[in-house]
Chains A and B, each alone.
Chain A
Amino acid sequence: MIPLLRKSHLLSTAFGLVMVAAAGMQTDGVALVVAMLAAAAVFAGIALRVAATPAVLLAAVAIVITDAAPLPAALAGLSAACYLVLRYTEGGRAAVINASAPAMLAALGFTFVGVLAASFPFELPWLPLLAPLAVFGIYVIATRPFYKASEGELELSSRS
């Protein structure tokens, strides 16, 4: 029974469906179709974990189409982060899943920052000029440790 539960990835699938629900709330037309596709991708992700990436991207498309408010978008994003992390770490021992707790907490903390940033009424004329640079910079800073790790420069074992 327990191996079957592990194989069905209950927790990650639940987070994936929450993500789809948050993205496709009160929608109709094209957005509903996209949300349905995302749900289908979540179910496909039970068998094939690569399908989790298109599921998250389809949820983002649904948000773009409906032009949702920041709060449901943040909920969908948080669910998406939990969905991806759990989908990739689930299936092992309990200790392996417990070790992904820092990632979940970081996701929760960043959600608040994201909601604040998205709902702040910026009315600056030079914002479109600065935004691409800022976004690119944030992305580079977030992915930089992984490049350092592949070059062997990241200190991995001395961390507590």
Chain B
Amino acid sequence: MIETRRTEAELRWRASPLTRAVATCAGVVLAAALIGSRWQLIAFVAPLLGVLCSIGWQRSVPRVYVHAEPGLQRCFEGEQTQLSVWATAERTDVTVALAIEGVEGMDLDVLADDPGGRQTATCAAERWGRYPVRARVDVVAPGGLLAGTAIVDAVDVFVFPLAPPQSTAIPKTELLDRLGTHLTRHIGPGVEYADIRPYVPGDQLRTVNWSVSARRGSLHVTQRLTDRAADVVVLIDTYPQPPGPATEATERALRGAVQVVQSALRSGDRAGVVSLGGGRPRWLGADIGRRQFYRVLDTLLGAGDEFETTTGTLAPRAALPPGAIVVAFSTMLDTEFALSLIDLRKRGHTVVAVDVLEGAPFQDEQDPLFTRMWAMQRAFMYRDMGTVGVDVVSWSTASTLDQSMRLVPERRRPVRGRR
């Protein structure tokens, strides 16, 4: 079902063109009457003044609503969607005019302008984000003496990022005992050959390796490596960033997050998302399936109501299943975000941080020494975070995310979670 959204227009009133015309006539004629001492003009001007004074007896102004169908539109970058907007008043004694316009970055073409005032438009945007469609309502009050104007956000168009199709590798870690697609060294049900061992009662007959059994004279079975599934939770940094390269880098952060979620869901893993920042973290529990992909997109952009919100600066425990792999996208400029990564590591998760910031976050050209000092500081930070157990990989625009994520160092033993 397509839901419609109804917004009440908060009108700002001013004198209508009728009032201005009447007041102009009355003013000029009164002045003429005074200057020329023509008192019969008083009789001429009295009805005009009567029209102006009748504002006290006019009917009240009805509420005006702007309707939009659908009230919330979702699409991908570069995709065209259609929406329609119309305005109604509580009573029919007012004239309502409507005009819609898009915000910067969105192409809005009005297709049809019905006589009923219903406007249909197509819109498309090249960059992900939330684009409100503004409707400008012009109302003439009953009696025509007052004119009101309001600008209403009629529809929110959420444009989702398009992620490259390449799958990203997940860091090597101890996976949970659940069937999946990631090959492990554990022995169990699977396809890849692991070893041959003597038969013990209870083994399935179909695992018996008949040729080996014939050679050895006793029953032997084939052991196989098992495939297991992972839980991938994407953590995204939505803290305010300094203007310049850091703000531009956040665009790639969301793209990377979507790519990680997409490749996790494709390989049958559970994927969840936590967006930290602004004092109100949004999160979505890990789950599988195509629907989850759209739920993750909704959570990332704050659309709809499928996600949960909390307070604080740490990722909520409910959002991260035990043993989940955390992939964080951040400019690594905010201390609170880094602290939340360390907290996740302490809880026993494998944490990989992808640094989306490229070079120094300074807007204007700086001294080369300055940039080099910044690069050294970053290198120290990478090393410090690596010591704590949070691997930081840099993702530059020159390489794709799957290439960058192959650089995650392999850890030999997992850190035991502290309870």
Residues of A at the B interface (CB closer than 8 Å) are 49-50, 52-53, 56-57, 60, 63-64, 67-71, 73-74, 76-78, 80-82, 84-85, 88-89, 92-93, 95-96, 98-100, 102-103, 105-111, 113-115, 117-119, 128, 131-132, 135, 138-139, 141-143, 145-146, 149-150, 152, 154, 156-160
Contact = CB atoms under 8 A, between A and B. Distances in A.
Contact of B91 (A95, A107, A150, A154): A95
Contact of A114 (B15, B27, B38, B43): B43
A64 B46 contact: no
Contacts of A158: 60
Interface stretch (B29-37, B207-215, B272-280): B29-37
Given A69-B40, A95-B92, A102-B54, A56 B25 contact: yes
13 contacts: A49-B17, A53-B24, A73-B41, A81-B22, A82-B47, A89-B143, A102-B143, A106-B54, A107-B48, A138-B49, A139-B30, A145-B56, A159-B58
B58 A102 contact: yes
Given A52-B21, A57-B25, A106 B40 contact: no
Looking at B13, B29, B46, B47, which has the most chain A CB atoms within 10 Å of its CB? B47
B44 A80 contact: yes
B16 A88 contact: yes
B92 A103 contact: no
A57 B22 CA distance: 10
Q: Which of A52, A69, A107, A142 has the most CB of B within 10 A?
A: A142
B33 A146 contact: no
A118 B41 CA distance: 8
B51 A81 contact: yes
B40 to A, nearest CB: 4
B120 interface: no
A135 B60 contact: no
Contact of A117 (B30, B46, B47): B46
Given A67-B38, A73-B40, A139-B30, A99 B18 contact: no
Contacts of A135: 30, 33-34
A84 B25 contact: yes
Given A107-B51, A110-B46, A156 B94 contact: no
